Amino acid sequence: MPANQFRGYIDAIDGQSGIVRGWAVNLRDPVQPVLLHILMDGQEVMQAVCDLPREDVRDVLLAPSEKLGFQFTLPVEACDGQPHDLSIRFEDRSALLFPDSENPEVGHEVVTFTRKPFTEYMSNVDGLHEGLLRGWIVSRDFPGAGWTGNVIISVKIDGVSLGTIRADCYRGDVVEALKCEPNCGFEFPIPHRYHDGIPHNITVMTMPDEVPLSGSPMVTSLVDDQLTAKLVQIENTIAGLHQQLTALRSSTRSLIPRKPLNLQHYDKWAKSYYNLLREQTALQREARPLKKSPLVSVLCPTWRPDEGDFRAAVESVLNQTYQNWELILVDDGSQCKKTTALIEEYSKKDKRVRAFALKKNQGIAGATNEAIKNAKGDYIAFFDHDDLLVDVALERMVRAALDTGAKLLYCDEDKVDAAGHFLEPNLKPAYDYRYLLGCNYICHLTFMDADVVRKVGPLESRYNGAQDHDFLLRATEIIPREAIHHVPEILYHWRKTPNSTASNIGNKGYAVKAGVDCVTDHLKRRKIKANVSSVERLSLYAVSWPFRRQPTLTVIIPFRDQLEMTRNCVESLLETQKYRKFDIILVDNFSVQKDTLAWLEDVKKNKQVNVLRVEEPFNYARLNNLAAKESKSDLLLFLNNDVIITQPDFLEKMVQEMLASPDVGAVGARLLYPNGTIQHAGVAVGPEVIGVHVHRLQSATDFGYIGRLRLNHEVTAVTGAALMVSHAVFDEVGCFDEVGLAVAYNDVDLCLKIRDHGHRIIFCAEAEAIHHESYSRGSDNRPEQEARFFHERQVMLERWKDNPLFKKDPTYPHYFKQDLRTFFDLNGPEDLWS
């Protein structure tokens, strides 16, 4: 055994990264990894364990273990650009020698090391989505420093530079993970000429040092659809063959579909929208001047605000086109000279700014109550001290209040990040009480009759974090439904910063509990038994109704043969449901298979199952109508035979939602494709589409737009594949139309009739089943069905063309196109006032 029991070697020292690599072994105990002591300027600064695999060294030394390697990064103190003495010692204080760069056989116990500062990056290219290359990048100049955004990057495809951009988009997910600056994301639109279905090499690098981002380069094919890809390929071929073929190239380009702006381009869309909003408001002001100019009290409680945000907030009120307002600033006991000076400055600047100060901090509820007490206006608007009003906000709200006589009004809103980008719009439906129980979707801007505000009573501090939700719920207890009005314009910007609730509800976790409490207490005041819980610890609330009453229910299932699917549908109901007060009517539309007929004879032995045989051509509406006439139940559930229900409380959830309010006429279920994506979560209606399933093909685990996939809420229509309706309401509105709408659209038509008669329709997100869509009757796109489908479409257009529910679905924001990507593609801003 040699005198020195340790052997080792330093393979490399990276002068830029400060990484040292090598190997070491204890010859007396080669299985135990060696512990190294790293000394800098004679002082031990860290330790490293030689436990990395080094098969090459093991094979040479014939060692019993491959865990011989080490790698460590020198500490921050070594990154100052100054020379430092570095040595590495074993446990017996002998040195691991540094090889001489000129003579490797000579070793040195100590080396002088200088690590130069350099820029370090963390990044990721997320990939392509809807033609946008997305990702993020942050940088720092030395280890231990904070990560910063706004890095400049360049994008190349197949070696051709497409451009240089600054990564300054807001990325809340990156902020939460790295605690870095928020504006570090990028979105780069890939030119349409690359959407040709051919693999392309995409490279993203920092500038000017040209460091590739993580995930770059990437090779991918960009294709919107096969037609688009083919047309792009033709265009590129023509361009490459001859420049003189300009006419043909332009013609081909014109055939390529151009995608509309969507939520990913919201900032661009919003800037155009706000310009048009101002123009439209000016035209409205000239054509129809306001007959009255009621005083509006804008209430703004504040506590040590950021000066820049506060100034912007106040200036947004000062810049209102509507002039008859007062801004009430309440200093919530901040004891801050800077805040006091800011408030005094604006009080002197404009007499309409009135200031009040609380001696002690009372929280947002107490400060708002002080503002209400001192408000002189006919209307009250609630405003946060770091948010922004669009300059026409008060004018639009006053006009809507005078036109409608509403006592509570609210508008749409979006967010603005630290870089001034508009993002994450909250585009709202018409007043939806059921949705309001699940979340405070009304939020900003809330605009109320001042007398009503005082009747509602003060904001309650015990609900801090959800005090506005509680206030709105109490308001609904005294304001009739028809006196609550949605102003369908985006008039309010919610400031989004890393510490705001707009960025992360986790910053105000107490608000979630307060929200559960305020919804629970509201229902208690209404003497309604309910259980309220948070959805995944977010400010979204599930409300279940443990009603004891169990109305009778008939499940109506039309079918023709398709034995396996029909049997699975029926057996899933009979075997799984906790709700027992139901029976089934199987509507046999001329089945002929022996196995089917034999099964029907057997299933009829079950007292819960009845079979109605209808030997007529397929007419979905008539089959259901005939079965409904046979039923004596309180409720009807129209169910396709390709819907499989395994959730034990499916029927219970649907029935309870029917019983939750006397004006509920129908309830629809949440249906999934077998692959776990959304098939049905409500139907939006309109002349362009008649009816389109919202959130279609989204993952079942998604929350949907503003929580709609997880919350029960009003819709204008639901699919007939799983439609529960009050039997009395079904008879009242005239049943399904079996003459004009024998196959298609009869469910949408029925829902429109139900809504038109003053009843509400609820999408029940808590009742879930699997739907094998169109398994029963096939697709309407088959050639033999085209004539019938066209006729039924024309029936719907002619019947409902002048109905407000159909012309502009109140439950689906008019900003969005009604296409296969609902809640995503945006209508052109100019179309909103057409």
Interatomic CA distance for residues 466 and 484, integer angstroms: 20
Contact at 8 Å (CB) between 175 and 160?
Answer: no
Q: Which of 73-77, 406-410, 611-615, 795-799 has the lowest mean pLDDT?
A: 73-77
Of the two residues 14 and 578, the one the predictor is more confident about is 578
Does 243 have pLDDT greater than 80? Answer: no
Q: What percent of the chain has pLDDT over 70?
A: 90
Task: Kindly provide the b/e burial profile for residues 624-642, where b requires at least 16 CB atoms within 10 angstroms of the residue's own CB.
Answer: bbbbbeebebbbbbbbbbb
Tokens found for residue 448 = 């109320």
Q: How far is CA 266 from CA 224, 387, 826, in A?
A: 20, 19, 8
At position 554, the amino acid (one-letter code) is T
283 Cβ contact partners less than 8 Å away, ≥ 6 residues apart: none
Domain 6-114 matches domain 553-827 at the CATH topology level: no
> What is the end-to-end Cα distance of the chain in Å, rounded?
93
Q: How far apart are CA 371 and CA 367, in angstroms?
A: 6
**Consecutive H or E run containing 128:** strand 120-129
How much helix, strand and coil, in percent to the nearest 5, is found in the chain?
30, 30, 40
Quote the CA–CA distance of 272 and 276 in Å, as a whole number.
6
CA dihedral 380, 382, 383, 389 (to 10 degrees): -60
Burial classification of residue 333, based on how many CB atoms lie within 10 Å of its CB (0-12 exposed, 13-18 middle, 19 or more buried): middle
CA distances for 344 relative to 340, 350, 369, angstroms:
6, 10, 21
Q: Which residue has the tokens 């105000």?
A: 508
- In the sheet that holds 6-13, the strands lie side by side as 6-13, 19-26, 67-73, 52-53
What class has domain 6-114?
mainly beta
Q: Report the pLDDT averaged over residues 136-144.
A: 82
- What pLDDT sits at residue 506? 47
How is residue 311 written in tokens? 């100034």
pLDDT band at 102 (very low <50, low <70, confident <90, very high): confident
Q: Where are the chain's structural domains?
A: 6-114, 120-250, 292-504, 553-827
Which tops the pLDDT comparison, 764 or 243?
Answer: 764
The pLDDT confidence band at residue 5, using thresholds 50, 70 and 90, is confident
Q: What is the DSSP letter of 160?
A: E
Note the pLDDT of residue 592: 84
Mean pLDDT of 619-631: 97
* pLDDT for residue 222: 76
- What pLDDT is stored for residue 764 in this prediction? 98
Highest-pLDDT range among 202-216, 217-231, 518-532: 518-532
Distance CA 375, CA 52 (A): 71
Q: Answer yes or no: are the C-beta atoms of 817 and 826 closer than 8 Å.
A: yes
Among the listed ranges 181-195, 520-534, 672-686, 764-778, which one has the minimum average pLDDT value? Answer: 764-778
User: How far is 85 from 43, CA to CA, in rounded Å?
Assistant: 10
Task: Give the mean model confidence (pLDDT) for residues 797-821.
Answer: 94
> What pLDDT is recorded for position 191?
83
Residue 208, φ and ψ in degrees, nearest 5 = -95, 0
CATH superfamily, with its number, for domain 292-504? Spore Coat Polysaccharide Biosynthesis Protein SpsA; Chain A (3.90.550.10)
Determine the Cα–Cα distance for residues 64 and 386; give it in Å rounded to an integer: 66
Bridge partners of residue 644, in order along the sequence: 770
Q: Binning pLDDT at 50, 70 and 90, where does residue 82 land?
A: confident
pTM > 0.85: yes or no: no
pLDDT of residue 505: 45
Q: Pick one of 3.30.750.24, 3.40.50.300, 2.60.120.10, 3.90.550.10 as the CATH number of 553-827.
A: 3.90.550.10
Three-state DSSP state, 564:
helix
Q: What is the CA radius of gyration of the chain?
A: 34
Can you tell me the distance from the alpha carbon of 298 to that of 322, in angstroms, rounded to the nearest whole number?
Answer: 12
Residue 295, Ramachandran bin (φ over 0: left; ψ between -120 and 50: alpha; else beta):
beta
Q: What is the mean pLDDT of residues 727-751?
A: 96
User: Token pair 């405003």 is at which residue?
Assistant: 383
By C-alpha distance, which of 432, 414, 422, 417 is closest to 489?
Answer: 414
Report whether 422 contacts 493 (CB < 8 A): yes
Q: How confident is the model at residue 430 (pLDDT cuts 50, 70, 90)?
A: very high
Lowest mean pLDDT among 174-178, 268-272, 290-294, 550-554: 174-178
CA atoms within 13 A on the CB side of 36: 28
Closest by CA position to 718, among listed 765, 787, 675, 758: 765
Res. 775: pLDDT tops 50: no
Long-range CB contact pairs, 137-140, < 8 A, 24+: 137/167, 137/184, 137/186, 137/206, 137/213, 138/174, 138/178, 138/180, 138/181, 138/184, 139/206
- Whether the pLDDT of residue 36 is over 80: the answer is yes
Q: Mean pLDDT over residues 77-93, rounded? A: 84
Tell me the pLDDT tens digit for each residue of 453-477.
999 999 999 999 999 999 999 999 9
Of 92-101, 545-554, 609-618, 695-704, the least confident: 92-101
Please state, rounded to an integer, the average pLDDT across all residues of the chain. Answer: 90
